[in-house]
Structure 1
Amino acid sequence: MKFEKVPCVLMRGGTSRGPFFLESDLPREQAELSHFLLAAMGSPHNLQVDGIGGGNPLTSKVAIVGASTRPGVDVEYLFAQVSIDRAFVDFSPNCGNMLSAVGPFAIEAGLVEAQPGETKVRIFNRNTGVLVEAVVQTPGGCVDYAGQTTIDGVSGTAAPIRLIFRDAMGSKTGALLPTGKVREEIEGVPVSLVDYAVPMVLIHAASVGLAGTETPEALEADADLLARLEILRLEAGRRMGLGDVSQIVVPKLALLSAPRAGGTLTSRYFANSRRCHRGHAVTGALCIAAASLLKGSVAADLAVPDAARPNTFALEHPGGRTQVGLERDASGQLAAASLVRTARRLFEGNVIVPLPAFAA
């Protein structure tokens, strides 16, 4: 069997990790691209032992980056969630953690010219159609990964990367409230169906018999709970206009409860129907923050705003805390949301795949 070498860079973005590819090096047709990514990551296999995946949803992610011809956009980013135990690649969601490494990757790949001090990279996410600005530290015109910023879920310190979401309402459905309702019921459970950066089903943990402080391991071990949550998610997807979502990971789901450590809310966020995030997704944190501003929503009912910092939202999760900055317009509506992540370039070289997997 012959093999093909394809250049890639392994990067940590926020609390996720995966290979970054230049769009020009990969197949363009989605079925061929999926076939290649499965071979590169080693799926389907629970350890992804025959590829470079990490055997966990947070380390089975791929970023594909290319130059953009859109006005006001520097680069375009396509995110791929590669399934571990089945031959499926989901292109429906965005990943805000992986997004935090797109700016540094684009600069070092020569797609964006670095500026003295810091460089703003305007990124169009093809999965959701959302434009995000990433502010990357570039002293002397070079990307600097070293710094004193810490984020929960990652050891050590690194340079800050600020992500600013300016048009994230209705990322997949076209509306902040796809059903037009702030609160409704599914199977007798009150929910809020909200789409800001990612479509989500927000549930008060107590309404399904939980405290909201359970560990991810405990939640994943409760088969009856997972089955019930998936019923709620499937119906939410139908109501949100997403159709049959049984084979994709959106809408995402979060169990919310009151804060315990001085934050605004507590969340248990599900990366897919069987896995609870050990920390929290960036896009999920943004969506919950936006929902907390909607009077009558599940999130707003539980939120404890900080009167001294009304434009700061602090989300407590199993890995610690994620802080979101909120910008409001003159009418008080959410105009933009931002947060700080870190990233690191880990490895660069070639991923080697069987030639039949590379059909371009």
Structure 2
Amino acid sequence: MQTAIPFHFFRGGTSRGPYFNRADLPEDRDALAQVLLSVLGSGDALNIDGLGGGAAVTTKVAMLSRSDDPDADVDYFFAQVSVLDRTVDFKPTCGNILSAVGPAAVEMGLVRPVGDVTRIRVLSTNTGARIEAIVQTPDRTVKYDGDAAIDGVPGTAAPIYLNFMDVVGSTCGSLLPTGNLRDVIDGVEVTCMDVAMPMVIARAADFGLTGYETAEELDANRAFYARMEPIRIEAGKRMGMGDVSGSVTPKFGLLAPARQGGTVTARYFMPKSCHPTMAVTGSQCLASCVLTPGTVAIGLFTPPSGMPAVVIIEHPSGTIDVTVDYENGADGFVLRSAGLLRTARLLARGEVFVPKTVWQG
């Protein structure tokens, strides 16, 4: 016997996974983790007994509900399920999965579309961040086809615009959780920053890398990971996050000069593997690092002109543009908002099954 759970299966940005109505899942966090491990098939490199795709970008889960917050329409609760070691991390959020939260909320009946364009106010319950998702809804249905393209996804689709607010210090409580623009850990200079996602950011050259390596080349370089992980763990302690050895946050990022006409080149780690493209949340943190004077990004780029500034981050599969409304004043870097263009597509919907021994339902 098995328990059936309604779900929608979306590609959101450059990630994908199941989207649930939170009411259809167990309230208890431990029971919820066991259900999600079963749904994704965690514990096998291919996730052969679940919906996962054998990579961190395909073992992600979104859980939605109508919000009780007067300034939000939908609560978005995210879970990162591991591919192999049967763990679930409820601490971070994911901006790529967020890309499909607006469409999913409409498909689930949590939000009623209004006109050709529907603005959906999303509250990320993992971090407290607030996001406006602008979704194309002609004839009061979600439009998925269109001319918008994002690197890392083949073809084109309807644009989804995401405007992020209240993302500075969303996890650690401040822009610079250690109180420093730069720290030195194990002989490597890093900037510890919390914008949308807490990150530890370093220069690729300080690890003997060019910064232009492919994700596959970096993942094969286990000596790099062996050096990077202790730095990430120590940085997590200094950022007030405690022992992060079992957590996917803070994430790690490497910077290098751009070579394809962008602002800067970056590699983003999840943290046990290199992201094949770029995380939406991570792109905001990296863009903020670039725009903040005195960080490890100094000397790697030519400052973007205009306001708001467009920071073009080159990643393994292309580029991602982050539009940043900010100021550098007496109080340092102040982020007003960060905007990105993403796409999403509904891939399937129906019921996913877990054994009754996992959850009775």
2:231 matched residue in structure 1: 232
1:60 matched residue in structure 2: 59
Contact between 2:308 and 2:323, CA under 8 Å: does it hold in 1?
Answer: no
Change (3 A) 1:127 1:310: closer
How far 1:359 sits from its partner (Å)?
Answer: 4.5
Q: CA RMSD in A?
A: 1.3
1:80 matched residue in structure 2: 79
SS in 2 for 1:157: coil
Q: Distance in 2 between matches of 1:242 and 1:210?
A: 28
2:125 matched residue in structure 1: 126
Contact between 2:308 and 2:326, CA under 8 Å: does it hold in 1?
Answer: no
Q: Distance in 2 between matches of 1:359 and 1:181?
A: 50
Change (3 A) 1:53 1:266: same
Describe how 1:16-31 pairs up with structure 2 within 5 A: 16-31=15-30
1:294 to 286, 292, 295: 292
Q: Distance in 1 between matches of 2:282 and 2:176?
A: 15
SS in 1 for 2:145: coil
How far 1:304 sits from its partner (Å)?
Answer: 2.2
2:283 matched residue in structure 1: 285
Q: Distance in 2 between matches of 1:299 and 1:94?
A: 24
CA deviation string 1:323-354 (max 9, x = no partner): 00011369573210010000000001110110
Would you say 1:46 and 2:45 are equivalent positions? yes
- Which amino acid in the other structure matches residue 297 of structure 1? T
How far 1:302 sits from its partner (Å)?
Answer: 1.6
2:339 matched residue in structure 1: 338
Contact between 1:32 and 1:359, CA under 8 Å: does it hold in 2?
Answer: no
How far 1:300 sits from its partner (Å)?
Answer: 3.8
- Which amino acid in the other structure matches residue 341 of structure 1? R
TM normalised by structure 1 equals 0.97
Change (3 A) 1:40 1:265: same
Q: Distance in 2 between matches of 1:70 and 1:306?
A: 36
Alignment: residue pair count = 358
2:348 matched residue in structure 1: 347
- Which amino acid in the other structure matches residue 156 of structure 1? G
Structure 1 residues without counterparts, runs of 5 or longer: none
SS in 2 for 1:349: strand
Contact between 1:10 and 1:18, CA under 8 Å: does it hold in 2?
Answer: yes
Contact between 2:22 and 2:64, CA under 8 Å: does it hold in 1?
Answer: yes
How far 1:305 sits from its partner (Å)?
Answer: 2.5
Q: Distance in 1 between matches of 2:306 and 2:100?
A: 32
Change (3 A) 1:300 1:120: farther
CA deviation string 1:157-198 (max 9, x = no partner): 101101111110011101010011111100110100000000
2:156 matched residue in structure 1: 157
Q: Distance in 2 between matches of 1:84 and 1:236?
A: 25
Would you say 1:11 and 2:10 are equivalent positions? yes
- Which amino acid in the other structure matches residue 245 of structure 2? S
How far 1:299 sits from its partner (Å)?
Answer: 2.2
SS in 2 for 1:104: helix
After the TM superposition, which of the residue ranges 214-223 and 185-194 deviates more from structure 2?
A: 214-223
CA deviation string 1:68-108 (max 9, x = no partner): 11111101011111111111101111110000000000012
1:187 matched residue in structure 2: 186
Contact between 1:259 and 1:304, CA under 8 Å: does it hold in 2?
Answer: no
Contact between 1:172 and 1:198, CA under 8 Å: does it hold in 2?
Answer: yes
Q: Percent identity?
A: 47
TM normalised by structure 2 equals 0.97
After the TM superposition, which of the residue ranges 181-190 and 296-305 deviates more from structure 2?
A: 296-305
Contact between 2:266 and 2:313, CA under 8 Å: does it hold in 1?
Answer: yes
CA deviation string 1:99-149 (max 9, x = no partner): 000000001211111011111111111111111110001112211111100
Q: Distance in 2 between matches of 1:300 and 1:27?
A: 47
Q: Distance in 1 between matches of 2:203 and 2:23?
A: 45
Contact between 1:137 and 1:144, CA under 8 Å: does it hold in 2?
Answer: yes
Contact between 2:78 and 2:93, CA under 8 Å: does it hold in 1?
Answer: yes
How far 1:308 sits from its partner (Å)?
Answer: 6.0
Q: Distance in 2 between matches of 1:333 and 1:241?
A: 21
